[in-house]
């Protein structure tokens, strides 16, 4: 069992790597612990709350007790299935803001500024506007990844955008185009009513090309000979074997499992590895550090009319949605229902958006529990650039043991300030005329909660992860002691080993992480192949009065 390139993890970046490397004639073997992505729970967009709560598809990780959130242990799902987290996520497609990538570049990830990454975002996309406008010059039309917009048939979905405009914010026709800031239609990785995961977009075409194979097994560690990665030790069917890489080993195993694998392989903080009896290959204190995420709360409103998706929130309703989807890939099941959104700045003096809204025309939790009030709607809101940092560390030296995940959420005072502003700004949007025909009363937090202390108590009790972990194998210059990989994804201190997934992000970008994770796979594949797309110097829109105005 050997190939030119052995990729650990068939997730967002790993599938893109497999496709591009095999397309270039290299032989690729992808190691994936999870199984098939067949079946309606994954392929039906409207069923998204199911796969991320199913142990069959999810690693089932939880955080350690979070000290600033009342010692709650939060769910931290990651896809354990072909397609990785792109097979269990909410399918929301957000590139991130241009300034995010310029920040990466300025922090030492040379060649990762917005001008450098925009051509890769375009290359990955097969974008259609769905009749809701857009920014075609900024988008890709011929990539493997289908990106579409919902029909916005629900009046609540349209009311959210209208309310944003009434509150004085920008309306943007394409937040993935020139102007992220403002309210507008949301985009999703859905094609003809089906989830368009990295497996559907990249891996399945790669497997048909004859140069790529997938092998099921649990990767335990990277094998080194004279400081060079030569293979991966895998457990499958109860037996251990080594898969050999003729050229390189590439880790695309997630922001949790990639640092875990590096540490099990002897790359990480020396003292921590010694505690677990692991021989040191390269002392890299940054492995597992710099863990970041987006945290959010759900602001829920009861509806005065029966216009929400709650009418389907019963057995006959769900059966009807499922049947309609199975027969024609249409109806409510053909959308993730995140069809409108907003990106705003929390205050004047903030140069680009630092709050994101996901709007849903139902009051429901990620685990599929509907609000007891019946018909309603909600906005998820949370700060985009939290200053809090956590870490992923080893629980033991056994590959089958889950890593220790500590996000250290809300450990900075700025997080509390930004969250309070986010909640108050959401309430203001829901109070606009556009919602007057629909809004009844606030379910959560509840209108009685008004003071900073009351709002802080609500955050402590109800904040949830948006499931955007990243940063644990930070990209930086080779002489940066805390960087884990160089700007070409090569692990510093060894040869023949790269990382390509969200763990390389120096700082979390604005929005959901699937799009930038796939972009990392696309761009890292070019680094492996010794090529790159020419830079695209398109100028993003920045609010002209950002220094003096919040909107």
Sorted by sequence, the CB contacts under 8 Å of residue 39 that are 6+ apart come out as none
Q: Which residue has 């050997």 as its token pair?
A: 2
Structure tokens at 495: 């040869």
Q: What string of DSSP letters covers 384-418?
A: SS----BEEE-S-S-TTSPPEEE--TT-SHHHHHH
Report the distance separating Cα 87 and Cα 74, nearest Å: 21
Report the distance separating Cα 11 and Cα 203, nearest Å: 9
Structure tokens at 39: 């079946």
Asked whether the beta carbons of 525 and 20 are under 8 A apart, the reply is: yes
Q: Where are the alpha helices (DSSP H) in 241-389?
A: 254-264, 270-275, 315-328
* Active-site annotation holder among 132, 294, 375, 468: 468
Asked whether the beta carbons of 147 and 128 are under 8 A apart, the reply is: yes
- Taking phi over 0 as left and psi of -120 to 50 as alpha, with beta for the rest, 134 belongs to left
Q: Closest by alpha carbon to 307, among 130, 183, 153, 186?
A: 153
Sorted by sequence, the CB contacts under 8 Å of residue 532 that are 6+ apart come out as 111, 116, 523, 526
Helix (H) or strand (E) holding 122: helix 114-124
Which DSSP symbol is given to 535? P
Report the distance separating Cα 27 and Cα 536, nearest Å: 31
Per the annotation, the verdict on 358 as an active-site residue is no
Q: Closest by alpha carbon to 93, among 131, 117, 127?
A: 127
Chain centroid to Cα 420, Å, comes to: 24
DSSP, collapsed to helix, strand or coil, labels residue 322 as: helix
Catalytic residue annotation: 468
């Amino acid at each position: 069992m050997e190939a030119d390139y052995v990729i650990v993890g068939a997730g967002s970046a790993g599938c893109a790597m497999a496709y591009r490397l095999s397309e270039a004639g290299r032989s690729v073997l992808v190691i994936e612990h999870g199984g098939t992505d067949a079946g309606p729970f994954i392929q039906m967009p409207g069923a998204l709350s199911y796969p991320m709560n199913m142990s069959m598809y999810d690693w089932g990780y939880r955080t350690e007790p979070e000290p600033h959130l009342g010692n709650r242990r939060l769910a931290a799902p990651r896809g354990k299935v072909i397609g990785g987290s792109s097979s269990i996520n909410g399918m929301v497609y957000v590139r991130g803001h241009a300034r995010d990538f310029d920040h990466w570049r300025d922090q030492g990830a040379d060649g990762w500024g917005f001008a450098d990454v925009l051509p890769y975002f375009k290359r990955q996309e097969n974008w259609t506007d769905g009749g809701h406008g857009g920014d075609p010059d900024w988008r890709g039309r011929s990539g493997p990844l289908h990106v579409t917009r919902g029909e916005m048939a629900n009046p609540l979905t349209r009311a959210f955008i209208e309310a944003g405009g009434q509150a004085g914010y920008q309306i943007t026709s394409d937040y993935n185009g020139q102007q992220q800031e403002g309210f507008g239609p949301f985009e999703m990785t859905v094609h003809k009513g089906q989830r368009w995961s990295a497996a559907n977009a990249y891996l399945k075409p790669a497997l048909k090309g004859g140069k790529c194979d997938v092998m099921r097994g649990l990767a335990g560690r990277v094998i080194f000979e004279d400081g060079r990665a030569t293979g991966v030790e895998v457990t499958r069917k109860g037996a251990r074997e080594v898969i050999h890489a003729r050229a390189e080993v590439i880790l695309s195993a997630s922001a949790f499992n990639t640092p875990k694998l590096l540490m099990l392989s002897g790359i990480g903080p020396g003292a921590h590895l010694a505690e677990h009896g692991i021989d040191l290959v390269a002392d890299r204190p940054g492995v597992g550090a710099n863990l970041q995420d987006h945290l959010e709360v759900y602001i829920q409103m009861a509806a005065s009319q029966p216009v929400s998706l709650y009418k389907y929130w019963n057995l006959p309703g769900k059966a009807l949605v499922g049947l309609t989807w199975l027969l024609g890939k249409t109806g409510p099941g053909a959308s993730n229902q995140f069809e409108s959104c907003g990106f705003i700045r929390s205050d004047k003096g903030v140069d680009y958006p630092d709050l994101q809204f996901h709007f849903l025309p139902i009051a429901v939790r990620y685990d599929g529990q509907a609000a007891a009030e019946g018909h309603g709607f909600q906005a998820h809101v949370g700060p985009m650039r939290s200053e809090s940092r956590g870490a992923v560390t080893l629980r033991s030296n056994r590959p089958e043991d889950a890593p220790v995940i500590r996000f250290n959420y809300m450990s900075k005072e700025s997080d509390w300030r930004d969250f309070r502003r986010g909640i108050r700004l959401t309430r203001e949007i829901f109070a606009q005329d556009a919602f007057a025909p629909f809004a009844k009363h606030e379910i959560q937090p509840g209108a009685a909660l008004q003071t900073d202390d009351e709002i802080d108590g609500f955050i402590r009790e109800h904040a949830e992860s948006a499931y955007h972990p990243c940063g644990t194998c930070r990209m930086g210059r080779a002489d940066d002691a805390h960087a884990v990989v160089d700007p070409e994804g090569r692990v510093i201190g060894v040869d023949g080993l790269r990382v390509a997934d969200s763990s390389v992000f120096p700082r979390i970008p604005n929005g959901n992480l699937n799009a930038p994770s796939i972009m990392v796979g696309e761009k890292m594949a070019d680094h492996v192949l010794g090529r790159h797309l020419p830079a695209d110097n398109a100028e993003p829109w920045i609010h002209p009065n950002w220094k003096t105005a919040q909107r």
